[in-house]
């Protein structure tokens, strides 16, 4: 096996172009939005859609999708470098149409959708004319354990009738459709085979948005949904009966890693800001950068970011090469989410009161970093699975080696 961390000239060109596009188009667009008080919705959309139009014109559109769907046809390793550039701005991934949750839903529809479902739902997602959400978590039961899902569907002729309650459904407020996970099987062979997935048009009678949940990063983005006697045609089931869990898991692997790629961008921004501040702030006879306490914060953050990048690249390599990636994605998701929080926290510390203010993006980044430790799999659930696989590897082979990335060492 050749270990080669260099990029082909074509990919290096893409990376340079994404970076240039983010600097020349996305950042100025974001600045314009931030600087205009009382910006009308019309102007807001004009700026947003204008950026998307430009991304499409220069071929930086749908990096994660195959070319036949209008995408750039990149693998996960290659996608890592695009996401890690794009996510240095808040809107970058959205402008390139590779943002959560649409990105994960596109993968899901591509792999599980029928031809009709792909044309009706995947095509407009790829065109950027529709938005989607993924609705699984419920307030009444632990989201960490989807076998507990209570929302139910029963079949009535060639329709399914669904009742239930969901919350924290990202993007539901703006979405044109949802991929909804509910219980359809009463007595499955395996507890994981109780749920099925449905595509639900929004709006639909019986699908009610109760509110957008107020969170520590604001009041938009994540909705509570009541589902009452919602009728869905049988051909809107995505995948087969009882395959909802499987579909969720296969969606979450690459989607979790894509989060990690974007978190790397955020962590790198926080580290850059930390270094810049340390080089420019003077106290007690020297620059902060000359003080050992600050140097350790910079060094620890650098090492953690390096580990994060290697873990993401290796997990992406495993996905691209059709190798089992569950453990590697779990380890990456857990590590990068936690490293992100620590690095932003240190950067805030080095900035002092400025870091706590909203004059820099750090405060907002910190609020978002907090959810990374439990959304898409809580830390402890990933640790539980990693532990299970490590013990299984030891029992099977007499060593934990294969559970540690199955690397050459």
Ligand X SMILES: Cc1cc2nc3c(=O)[nH]c(=O)nc-3n(C[C@H](O)[C@H](O)[C@H](O)COP(=O)(O)OP(=O)(O)OC[C@H]3O[C@@H](n4cnc5c(N)ncnc54)[C@H](O)[C@@H]3O)c2cc1C
The residue sitting closest to ligand X, measured at its beta carbon, is: 143
Judge whether 206 and 228 are in contact, CB under 8 Å.
yes
Query: 181-207: buried (b, 16+ CB within 10 Å) or exposed (e) per residue?
Result: bbbbbeebeeebbbbbbbbbebeeebb
CA–CA distance, 354 with 346 (Å, rounded to integer): 13
CA–CA distance, 126 with 236 (Å, rounded to integer): 19
Question: Of 75, 225, 213, nearest to 135 (Cα)?
Answer: 225
Residue with Cβ nearer ligand X (88 or 256): 256
CA–CA distance, 46 with 32 (Å, rounded to integer): 11
Question: Would you give the distance in Å from CA 119 to the centre of its chain?
Answer: 24
Residue with Cβ nearer ligand X (151 or 347): 151
Residue with Cβ nearer ligand X (383 or 399): 383
Q: Which two tokens stand for residue 293?
A: 């306490």
Residue with Cβ nearer ligand X (169 or 393): 169
Name the minimum Å distance from CB 323 to ligand X.
Answer: 26
Name the minimum Å distance from CB 228 to ligand X.
Answer: 19
Helices (H), 129-243: none
Name the minimum Å distance from CB 157 to ligand X.
Answer: 28
Residue with Cβ nearer ligand X (102 or 268): 102
Name the minimum Å distance from CB 307 to ligand X.
Answer: 23
Residue with Cβ nearer ligand X (131 or 278): 131
Name the minimum Å distance from CB 370 to ligand X.
Answer: 8
User: By the criterion CB under 6 A, which residues form the site for ligand X?
Assistant: 101, 133-137, 142-144, 168-170, 222, 371, 374-376, 378, 380-381, 384
Question: Would you give the distance in Å from CA 22 to the centre of its chain?
Answer: 19
Residue with Cβ nearer ligand X (324 or 380): 380
Name the minimum Å distance from CB 313 to ligand X.
Answer: 25
Residue with Cβ nearer ligand X (85 or 376): 376
CA–CA distance, 204 with 164 (Å, rounded to integer): 14
Name the minimum Å distance from CB 139 to ligand X.
Answer: 8
Question: Would you give the distance in Å from CA 111 to the centre of its chain?
Answer: 18
Residue with Cβ nearer ligand X (280 or 383): 383
- 97 three-state secondary structure: coil
CA–CA distance, 56 with 44 (Å, rounded to integer): 19
Q: How many CA atoms does the CB half-sphere of 355 hold within 13 Å?
A: 19
CA–CA distance, 189 with 341 (Å, rounded to integer): 40
- 53 three-state secondary structure: helix
Name the minimum Å distance from CB 293 to ligand X.
Answer: 31
Name the minimum Å distance from CB 168 to ligand X.
Answer: 4
Query: Cα-flanking dihedrals φ and ψ of residue 218, to 5°?
Result: 120, -170
Question: Of 56, 98, 68, nearest to 80 (Cα)?
Answer: 98
Q: Which two tokens stand for residue 363?
A: 């405060």
């Amino acid at each position: 096996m050749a270990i080669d961390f260099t990029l082909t000239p074509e990919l290096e060109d893409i990376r340079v172009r994404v970076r240039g596009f983010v600097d020349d188009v996305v950042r100025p667009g974001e600045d314009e939005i931030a600087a205009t008080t009382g910006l009308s919705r019309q102007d807001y959309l004009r700026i947003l859609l204008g950026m998307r139009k430009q991304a499409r014109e220069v071929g930086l559109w749908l990096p994660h999708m195959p070319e036949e769907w209008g995408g750039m046809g990149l693998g996960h390793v290659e996608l890592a470098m695009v996401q890690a550039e794009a996510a240095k701005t808040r809107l970058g991934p959205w402008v390139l149409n590779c943002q959560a949750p649409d990105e994960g839903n596109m993968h899901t529809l591509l792999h599980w959708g029928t031809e009709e479902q792909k044309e009706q739902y995947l095509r407009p997602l790829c065109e950027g004319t529709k938005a989607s959400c993924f609705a699984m978590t419920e307030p009444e039961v632990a989201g960490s354990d989807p076998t507990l899902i209570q929302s139910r569907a029963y079949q009535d002729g060639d329709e399914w009738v669904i009742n239930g309650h969901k919350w924290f459904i990202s993007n539901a407020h703006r979405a044109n459709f949802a991929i909804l996970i509910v219980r359809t099987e009463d007595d499955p062979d395996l507890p994981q085979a109780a749920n099925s997935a449905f595509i639900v048009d929004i709006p639909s009678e019986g699908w009610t948005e109760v509110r957008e949940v107020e969170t520590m990063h604001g009041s938009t983005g994540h909705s509570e949904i009541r589902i009452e006697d919602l009728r869905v045609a049988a051909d809107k089931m995505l995948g087969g009966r009882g395959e909802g869990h499987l579909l969720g898991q296969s969606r979450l692997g690459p989607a979790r890693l894509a989060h990690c790629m974007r978190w790397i961008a955020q962590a790198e921004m926080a580290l850059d800001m930390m270094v810049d501040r340390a080089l420019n702030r003077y106290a007690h006879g020297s620059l902060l950068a000359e003080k050992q306490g600050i140097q350790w914060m910079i060094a620890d953050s650098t090492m953690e970011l390096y580990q994060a990048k290697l873990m993401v690249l290796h997990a992406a390599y495993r996905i691209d090469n059709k190798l089992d990636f569950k453990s590697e994605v779990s380890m990456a998701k857990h590590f990068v989410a936690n490293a992100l929080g620590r690095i932003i926290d240190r950067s805030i510390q080095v900035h002092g009161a400025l870091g706590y203010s909203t004059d820099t993006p750090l405060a907002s980044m910190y609020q978002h970093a907090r959810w990374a430790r439990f959304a898409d799999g809580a830390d402890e659930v990933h640790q539980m699975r990693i532990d299970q696989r490590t013990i299984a590897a030891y029992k099977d082979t007499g060593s934990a080696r294969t559970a540690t990335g199955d690397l050459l060492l």
